[in-house]
Structure 1
Amino acid sequence: MHQEPAAALQQNNVEETAKGRRNKSYLFWAGFIFLLLPGLVHAYLLMPFPGSQNLNAITVSYYLEKIVLPIRILGGFLIVWYAIFYFKNNTTRNKISKATILGLGLVSFYFTDFKFSAERMFEEPQSVKFANFVNNSVPESAVIIGVVSNGVAKAYPLIYLGYHHKIQDNVGGQPVLVTYCTMCRSGRVYNPVINGKRQTFRLVGARHYNAVIEDDATKTWWYQANGKAAVGRLKGSRLQELPYEQSTLAAWINKHPGSLILQPDHHYTDGYNELKNYDRLQAVDKDSTLKNKDSLMRKSWVVGLVVNGQAKAYDWRRLFKKQLLNDDFNQANLLLILEKDSVTYHSFNRSVNGKVLHFDLNKSGQLTDKETASLWDWDGLSTSGVLKGNRLTKVQSYQEYWHSWRQFHPNTSFWE
C-alpha cells in the first residue's frame, strides 16, 4: 500500500528535474552573478563602506576593475540567452521572481556604477575660473591651498577643492595637480608630468580612506596622500611634489596681493554647502559626548612633516594653545607657528647663517628671535634688526587627520 505514493513521488521528482532542464535556470543565476557581483565587490573595496578601507586590497581592486566589464558582458549574454530560449518555460511565479530579482540587481548596478561612483560624485569643475582679489567672491576667512610658481600665485579654497578632490591647472606655466582628500584631510600638490608627458588624472575611489587617482597613459594607481604609485606599470614610483601653503585667504592675500583665487562653480553649490565649516571644526568639537576634547582620535588634526626621511606629527589642539613651538627633530631645528587667526600655520628651519635661533612672540604679537631681537614676518623674512633681510627656510608641512598621517607614515614620531 505504501509503494504507490512512493512511485508517484519519484515520478514527480523526475518531472521536476526534466522541467528544470527545460528551464535551465542555472544560466540565469550564473548570468546574474557575473553581471552584478564583481561590480559590487569592486564598489565595496573602493568606497568607504564599513570594514572595506581597512583591507589591504588595492591590488585586488586594480585587477578586478580590469575584468569587471568582460565578466559583465558574459553575464549579460547568459541572461539574454536565457530570456530568449528558456524564460518562457518558467511558471508565472518564477517569471515574476526572476524579473524582480533582476530589476533589483539593475538598481544596485545603477547606484554602484553611476550614482555613487567616485568619478561622478566628485567631478572636477565644469569651468575653472579665477578672479583677482578685487573681483573675488570667496570670503577672506576661507581656508585655502596656496601655490606660487614663477612669480604667479593662486589660491584654491578647501571647500571647493575638497568637494572636487583635484584641480588640474597651471601656475606660472608650471602644470599642477592640486589635490585634497576630505577623508584624510590631506592636501597635496603634484607635478602631473610623467616621463616628460603631462597626464590627465581620474579619481578611482579610495583605499585606507585616502583618494586613489589614475593617470591616463600608464593606468597606474597613485595614493593622494604621498604620491606613491601603489599598483600598475609604475608601481613604486612617486609623483613629484610641489610646495604649497595652507592659510586663510586673508593671510594669503596679505603676502600675495596679486594672487588669483579659484571661484566656485555654481553647478556644485549643494556639494560645497555639505562642506560648510569643514575647514574650521574638528570632529571632537562636534562630539557632545566627549568630555576630554584633547583626546587623540582618528580624526584629530595633526601637523605632519618629514625631515631627512623621518616623519613627525604635532597635535593641532596643543599647538593651537601654544601658538609657537621651537623644536629639534632628526638634526633639524624647527619652528612651528600659528598666525593670529589661529588657522594659518607655518613651519620653518630656524637656523640662519649657521646659527640656531629661538623664537617667541613679543607683546604686540610679532615674531622675534631671542638672540638678536630682530623682527620677522609670517613669510619668514626678517623685516628689522640685526638680521634684517635674512629669510628662514620653509619646511613643507601638512595638516591632516591622525589616522591618515599614521597610515602613510607608520614610523612617525608624535609631539603632544
Structure 2
Amino acid sequence: MKNQTNPWLFWTGMILLVVPGLIHAYLLMPFPGSQELNAMTVSYYLEKMVWPLRAAGILMLVRYLIKYFPRNSKTAKIVKASALAICLVSFYYTDFAYKASTMFEEPRTIKFATAAGNKVPENFVVIGVVNDGVAKAYPVDYLGYHHKVQDNVGKLPVLVTYCTMCRTGRVYSPIVNGKRQNFRLVGARHYNAIIEDEDTKTWWYQATGLAAAGKLKGQRLKELPYEQATLKSWLAKYPNSLILQSDAHFISDYNDLKNYDRIQYVDHDSTIKNKDTLMRKSWVLSVIVHGQAKAYDWRHLFKKRVLNDRVAVTPVVVTIEPDSLTHHAFNSYVNGKTLHFKADTTGTLTDLETASTWDWDGLSTAGTLKGTQLTKIQAYQEYWHSWKHFHPNTLFWKE
C-alpha cells in the first residue's frame, strides 16, 4: 500500500511549525546578511502569520501522530521523533533565547537618586532630558541593555531609547494620536532597533521615530530634545538632576556594556592603515538644519574640539568637551554676526570676533557678550553606517 505512513503530512506540518519562526528570527536579529535585506514589510506580516501557520502545522502533526505514526518502522519513528525534538529546540531559540523582548528585558524597577544618593559613576555617559525645571539622566550603559525606558520628566511622558548597534540615542514622546502608548522591543532592521506600540501594533524605527510598517506607516513619533554627556558634565549644569539607578536584576547585563562609552571614544577604525578612511562603524556627530543633514568625523572633532561650519544657510559650531565624550552643536549667529570659536589648551572656549569667553553649554561667561546664550542644535552621535542609511542625502564635513 503506497504512502501508508503519509510522510508528506508529517514533513509539511514540520515545515509550517519550524520554518516561519526561523525566517522571522533571522530577519529580526543581526544574523549574517539579514540586516542588509529590505525586508521590513515581509518581517512585519510574517510575525502576524507565524502562529496561524504554526497552528496549521500542529494540527497536521497531531493528525499524523494519531493516524499514521504507529504504522512507521522503528527507524522511521526514531527519525521523526528526532525531528520533533529538533523542532522543540528550534522553538526555544526562536521564541525565547533569540527573542528581542526576552534578550533585552524591560526594567523591573525604575529608581532615581539625587547626586547625593547616586551610585552611577560620574564618567558614565548619560542621555539627559529637562522639562519644566526637572532634569533626569539615563545612563547609556543601562539604556543600551534595555533599549528603552518609558518614564515621565516632570509631567512630560518620555520614551528614552538607545540602540547599541547604531550608537543611536533618541528621546520621543510616547503620545500617538492623542493617547500614551506602551512600546515593546520587536527586533532590528538595518541594524536599528524596532519598537511596536501597544494599540496599533505599528513598527517604528528607533533611529528616526518613523513608522515603517503597520497601521500608522509614514507617521513619526515626536522627537524631544536631549543631551548626551558624561554624568559629571550633566551634573555641573543640572546639580539637582535625578539619575536613573541600576536595576539589581540586570547587573551582569550592564557589566557587558560597562566600557561601551567610557573607553571606546576613539573608534576602532582609527587603527586601520588609512586613518582618513570613513568606515561603517566610524563615529560621526551629525546635525539636521533646515532639512539638511550634515555629519562630522568624530576623529577630526576629537582632535580639534571645535569645528566652525555652515549647514544650509545657518552658521554652526560643533564641540566636544575636554572629557572627550560630551558633545554639543550651536547656531553661532549672534547679534547680526557669525561668531567663530576656538578652544585653547586649558579648555577655554572663546570667539574670535569679540574674544568673549564661553562655557561648553554655549553661555558667554565673560567679555562683551557676557550673558548671551547660543541657540542649541540637536546633535547626534552614531555610527556612520546608521546615519548614512537613514539620512542618505547627508553632506560630510571636510577641511
Could you state the TM-score of these two structures normalised by the residue count of structure 1?
A: 0.93
Q: CA deviation at 1:354?
A: 2.3
1:412 maps to: 394
The equivalent position to 2:138 in structure 1, one of 149, 153, 156, is 156
2:266–2:299 CA contact under 8 A, matched in 1: no
Letter in 1 for 2:86: L
Which among 288, 313, 316 is matched to residue 306 of structure 1?
A: 288
The more displaced of 159-168 and 22-31 is 22-31
- Tell me what 2:55 maps to: 73
**Residue number in structure 1 paired with 2:226:** 244
Contact 2:332 2:339 (C-alpha < 8 Å) held by counterparts:
yes
Q: Aligned partners of 1:222 and 1:151: how far apart in 2? A: 30
Q: Deviations over 1:254-274 (max 9, x none)?
A: 000000111111111111111
Closer, same or farther in 2 for the Cα pair 1:361/1:311, shift >3 Å?
A: same
Which residue number in structure 2 is paired with residue 394 of structure 1?
376
SS state at 1:167 partner:
strand
For the pair 1:114 / 2:93, whether they are aligned, the reply is no
- 1:136-157 per-residue CA deviation (whole Å, 9 max, x = no partner) reads 1110110111111111101111
| Inter-partner Cα distance in structure 2 for 1:270 and 1:292 | 37
C-alpha contact (below 8 Å) 1:283/1:299 kept by paired residues = no
Measure how far apart 1:287 and its partner are.
7.2
SS of 1:335 mapped into structure 2: strand
| Partner Cα separation in structure 1 for residue 156 and residue 231 of structure 2 | 22
Given candidates 139, 152, 160, the residue that maps to 2:121 is 139
Shift of 1:286: 5.0
The letter for the 2-side match of 1:265 is D
- 2:302 matched to which residue of 1? 320
CA distance in 1, matches of 2:215, 2:381: 31
Show the counterpart of 1:347. Answer: 329
Determine the C-alpha separation between the residues in 2 that align with 1:187 and 1:381. Answer: 25
1:292 Cα offset (Å)? 4.0
Deviation at 1:293, TM superposition (A): 4.4
Give the secondary-structure state (helix, strand or coil) at the position aligned to 2:116. coil
Larger of the two Rg values belongs to structure: 1
Question: 4+ runs of 1 displaced by more than 6 Å?
Answer: none
- 1:353 Cα offset (Å): 2.3
State the SS of the aligned residue for 2:117. coil
1:228 aligns with 2:207: no
**RMSD of equivalent CA atoms:** 1.5
Q: Aligned partners of 2:344 and 2:90: how far apart in 1?
A: 61
Gaps of 5+ in 1: 1-17
Question: In structure 1, how many angstroms separate the alpha carbons of the residues matched to 2:56 and 2:303?
Answer: 61
Secondary structure of the structure 2 residue equivalent to 1:114: helix
Q: Does 1:26 align with 2:34?
A: no
Contact map agreement 2:10 2:61 (CA 8 A) in 1? yes
- 3-state SS of paired residue (2:284): strand
Preserved contact between residue 282 and residue 300 of structure 1 (Cα < 8 Å): no
Determine helix, strand or coil for the equivalent of 2:160.
strand
Any idea what SS the aligned residue of 2:47 has? Answer: helix
After TM superposition, the score normalised by the length of structure 2 is 0.97
Question: What is the number of residues matched between the two proteins?
Answer: 398
CA distance in structure 2 between the aligned counterparts of 1:301 and 1:288, rounded to whole angstroms: 10
Any idea what the Cα deviations from partners look like across 1:14-70, whole Å, max 9, x if unmatched?
xxxx152x2111111111011111111111111111111011100011111111111
CA distance in 1, matches of 2:292, 2:269: 33
How far residue 364 of structure 1 moved from its aligned partner, in angstroms, is: 3.6
Say if 1:184 and 1:401, in contact at 8 Å, map to a contact too.
yes
User: Any idea what SS the aligned residue of 1:72 has?
Assistant: helix
> Is the Cα–Cα contact under 8 Å of residues 17 and 55 in structure 2 kept in the other structure?
yes
**Which runs of 5 or more structure 2 residues have no equivalent in the other structure?**
none
| Equivalent position amino acid for 2:375 in 1 | T
The question of whether the paired residues in 2 share the 8 Å contact of 1:146 and 1:244 is answered with yes
Is residue 2:81 matched to residue 1:99?
Answer: yes
AA aligned to 1:107 is V
